[in-house]
A and B are shown apart, each in its own frame.
Chain A
Amino acid sequence: MKKLNYGLWIYAALCLILVLIYRYSTDSFDTKVSGYNLSLWYPMTVNLFLIGISVISFKENKLLPIVGIIFTPISIYSFYKSWTDFNYDFLALFIALPILLLLLLLYHKYKQK
């Protein structure tokens, strides 16, 4: 459970960083940040990390890795769509995945206890 624990926490942190980059790439202080091009690679890298963690920790737990792998493509697509269409509803979908995974993790820990 240790790998999954750390892995999901790091995944949530990466998602948070990505959302913050998104936020400040669209703001007015432009000179440095405008150089960022939030392409498909950013959410893809973060979600590839999630897939890696899911595969590694599949023996520890079944539910969390399966949920992670199923929702990964949706997460990548929603972030990219949000960036290109400037639509925050898709961004909400992207943030929803780490929230869901952390809630499931807490529930699982609670049950174990």
Chain B
Amino acid sequence: MKIQHKIVLLMVMIGLFLVPSVYGLGVGPLSIDIVAERGKETEIIRDIAVTNPAKNPIHITGTVTGTISEFVTLSPNEFELEAGPGITTTAPRPYKYVLVRIRIPREVPENSYTGQIIFTERPTTGGVLGTSAQLGVRVNLNIGTIADAVFPMYINIMIGLLVVLMIVTLIYKRRVIKQ
């Protein structure tokens, strides 16, 4: 084995042993797909479960990247999770649901918007190196057209009445002028 390979292997092992919190983050689901109608103010709420199996408490920050960032808000976007039972056991892990609120205004043009909700983990205690881990949830938002946005009958009748009144006003005015 070459000396360079040994150095790389040694660094990987140091990383594995000294940074236990790197494995301490779990999120689900891993992707969210949403289809919404354009021209309609829509609010969609989903939640993402964030778990901590690692044996030390962690601090998590949620951020939104990509073109979906203007529509998506997270609540809470920063929180702490207590220490878990460890990654090798099947005991219940501490978790928290993060509310993902997707608010689509009426005026948004139809398009495909994508991005990620990234959860960044930082150990609050324990761990020798000051590192952090990230996990992302992919979000696909497709905004499409309204198939049928026809006015109801009473609106059509009112428009018709308005047009008739406009014509009558014109004709009436001319008659009055002639007389």
User: How far does the alpha carbon of A113 sit from the alpha carbon of B175 in the complex, in Å?
Assistant: 11
Which of B38, B39, B110, B162 lies in contact with A95, CB distance below 8 A?
Answer: B162
**Contact of A34 with B109 in the complex, beta carbons under 8 Å:** yes
User: How far does the alpha carbon of A42 sit from the alpha carbon of B165 in the complex, in Å?
Assistant: 23
B133 within 8 A of A: no
- CB-CB under 8 A from B49, the residues of chain A are none
User: How far does the alpha carbon of A16 sit from the alpha carbon of B154 in the complex, in Å?
Assistant: 15
User: If A95-B158, A113-B176 touch, does A83 touch B147 (CB 8 Å cutoff)?
Assistant: no
**Contact of B41 with A86 in the complex, beta carbons under 8 Å:** yes
B33 within 8 A of A: no
User: In chain B between 147 and 175, which residues have their CB closer than 8 angstroms to a CB of chain A?
Assistant: 147-149, 151-152, 154-155, 158-159, 161-163, 165-166, 168-170, 172-173
What's the tally of chain A residues with a CB closer than 8 Å to chain B? 35
- CB-CB under 8 A from B145, the residues of chain A are 28, 30
Q: Give the distance to chain A from B109, nearest Cβ to Cβ, in Å.
A: 5
Q: Give the distance to chain B from A14, nearest Cβ to Cβ, in Å.
A: 11
B103 within 8 A of A: no
**Contact of A15 with B162 in the complex, beta carbons under 8 Å:** yes
User: If A9-B169, A12-B166, A106-B172 touch, does A28 touch B146 (CB 8 Å cutoff)?
Assistant: yes
A45 within 8 A of B: no
User: If A30-B38, A86-B106, A95-B158 touch, does A105 touch B169 (CB 8 Å cutoff)?
Assistant: yes
**Contact of B165 with A106 in the complex, beta carbons under 8 Å:** yes
Q: Give the distance to chain B from A67, nearest Cβ to Cβ, in Å.
A: 15
A5 within 8 A of B: yes
A25 within 8 A of B: yes
Q: Select the stretch in A48-56, A57-65, A69-77, A96-104 that faces chain B.
A: A96-104
**Contact of A83 with B106 in the complex, beta carbons under 8 Å:** yes
**Contact of B41 with A85 in the complex, beta carbons under 8 Å:** yes
Q: Give the distance to chain B from A36, nearest Cβ to Cβ, in Å.
A: 8
Which of A83, A85, A88, A105 lies in contact with B151, CB distance below 8 A?
Answer: A88
**Contact of A99 with B158 in the complex, beta carbons under 8 Å:** yes
**Contact of A102 with B146 in the complex, beta carbons under 8 Å:** no
**Contact of A102 with B166 in the complex, beta carbons under 8 Å:** yes
A92 within 8 A of B: yes
**Contact of B147 with A95 in the complex, beta carbons under 8 Å:** no
User: How far does the alpha carbon of A28 sit from the alpha carbon of B38 in the complex, in Å?
Assistant: 9
Residues of A near any B CB (own CB < 8 A): 5, 8-9, 12-13, 15-16, 19, 23, 25-28, 30, 34-35, 37-38, 83-86, 88, 91-92, 95-96, 98-99, 102-103, 105-106, 109, 113
Residues of B near any A CB (own CB < 8 A): 38-41, 106-107, 109-110, 145-149, 151-152, 154-155, 158-159, 161-163, 165-166, 168-170, 172-173, 176
